[in-house]
Structure 1
Amino acid sequence: MNSQRPAAVLFDMDGTLVDSEKVWDIALYELAVRAGGELSQGARHAMVGNSMANSMRILREDLGQPDRPEEPDVKWLTSRVFELFREGLVWRPGAAELLRAVKLAGMPTALVTSTGRLLVEAALDTLGRENFDVVVCGDEVTMPKPDPEPYRTAAALLGVPITECIAVEDSPTGVASALASGAVVLAVPAELELPATDGVHLRTSLVGVDPAYLTSLLISHELLQPEH
């Protein structure tokens, strides 16, 4: 059993580090209007933490336009969100401080997001490229969240065991991905409520979270594991 600090901290982006879901709100509602409809709140909630392909499928179903071509919508949405990201993103409470503390402590970090590379590059102007040792984007994996592939890919790129990593998430989709990967999960809900789940440490915000707290999560998780 390793009772040392986490081998790495793996951060989700939208809703976890930055309040970017509200940016997506603007663009998605605008896209629905362009399509001659109106996006329902239920459909918008279903998109949170999901891949672009899944989100576009939800949009088409919600608008009653199952045969609507996907590519033009993706192109328009990406361009609009890029424009909004470039205007700057607002940090979630405690997120910038935690990221800074983790880096100062010398702990490896990864950004693990369902968002595509083009938009992530724009977001990194706010987040700081120097804050992440690796970046795994939604369009760079075969199976995006809720599949565990994104988190397992990040751990592999860092050369660390996923079971010794802390994943920081905000959405049910992201939590499912992180949990299935084998990471220890810290979840801070943003847009959607998160149910209490075995193996998931729930907090109302990242304020007060520091490397010592993350280490305590890993140790408590290991203590609960059966001896082999």
Structure 2
Amino acid sequence: MSELEAVLFDMDGTLVDSEKVWDVGLRELARRFGGELSQAARTRMVGTSMAESMEILHADISQPWLNPEESVTWLENRVYELFAAGLIWRPGARELLDAVRAAGLPAALVTATRRRLVDVALGTIGAHNFDVVVCGDEVGNSKPHPEPYLTAASKLGADPRRCAAIEDSPTGVASALAAGCLVVAVPCEVALVPTDGVVQIDSLTMMDVATLRRHLAGRAAA
């Protein structure tokens, strides 16, 4: 169980600094309804599905009766505009992705973001970098359920226990852990609680393929 078979990357807050883009859209949406999004509610949204985020937002501005589908449509259109303007790589993310590809390892993008927005983001991060892309609207259960990571591993023909998952959020970490992956956590917008089985680092500049392999081998030997 010590051979690394694939690397599975989250997108928002992990590869690209897009949580700040989502922040703009979400706060504009709250103001559109005459409210102000609290920081506590915004923090709870990180890593969740669009439907869950709308439930949190509507409750936070004391308008739980609002139509979540209409809110999702408005937010998606606004974030589409912001994504199209370009996204900024997280420190070390591009270098790690390049190293994974140079090593001949399969790679997957595993995100709670919906396909329409992911396709725009891939203009920055490169569709050619991923053998498989699993989006939030392409699975029955979004993170923290293990389905997204299990789906990615299955499509790659890889054992999830021999995959490394790179994540930044509590929901993403929980999803990858439940799938059996080696989890490397790099906090972005939300602090992470130290968890058994999770390798937590401050930046992806501290990670490379050899280190991923060592961590997987160490876990297998434990």
Q: TM-score, normalised by structure 2?
A: 0.99
1:66 deviates by 1.0
The equivalent of 1:3 in structure 2 is 2
1:47 deviates by 0.2
Write the distance in 2 (CA, Å) between the matches of 1:83 and 1:220: 44
Worse-superposed segment, 181-190 or 63-72: 63-72
Write the distance in 1 (CA, Å) between the matches of 2:67 and 2:148: 27
1:208 deviates by 3.2
The equivalent of 2:42 in structure 1 is 44
What is the RMSD computed on CA atoms of the aligned residues? 0.6
Write the distance in 2 (CA, Å) between the matches of 1:54 and 1:69: 13
Secondary structure at the aligned position of 1:25 is classed as helix
Write the distance in 2 (CA, Å) between the matches of 1:20 and 1:3: 33
Tell me the amino acid that sits aligned with residue 128 of structure 1: G
The equivalent of 1:21 in structure 2 is 19
1:80 deviates by 0.4
Write the distance in 1 (CA, Å) between the matches of 2:2 and 2:147: 26
1:209 deviates by 1.3
Worse-superposed segment, 205-214 or 168-177: 205-214
The equivalent of 1:139 in structure 2 is 137
* 168, 174, 177: which one aligns with 2:175: 177
The equivalent of 1:31 in structure 2 is 29
Tell me the amino acid that sits aligned with residue 69 of structure 1: N
Write the distance in 1 (CA, Å) between the matches of 2:85 and 2:215: 36
Secondary structure at the aligned position of 2:142 is classed as coil
* 69, 85, 88: which one aligns with 2:86: 88
Q: Give per-residue Cα distances to partners, 1:160-192, cap 9 Å, x unaligned.
A: 100000000000010000000100100000001
Write the distance in 1 (CA, Å) between the matches of 2:206 and 2:40: 32
Tell me the amino acid that sits aligned with residue 218 of structure 1: L
Runs of 4+ that moved beyond 3 A: none
8 Å CA contact 2:2, 2:162 repeated in 1: no
The equivalent of 1:222 in structure 2 is 220
Secondary structure at the aligned position of 1:23 is classed as helix
Write the distance in 2 (CA, Å) between the matches of 1:61 and 1:185: 32
Structure-to-structure mapping, 1:151-190, within 5 angstroms: 151-190=149-188
Q: Structure 2: which 5+ residue stretches go unaligned?
A: none
The equivalent of 1:61 in structure 2 is 59
1:146 deviates by 0.3
Secondary structure at the aligned position of 2:64 is classed as coil
Secondary structure at the aligned position of 1:110 is classed as strand
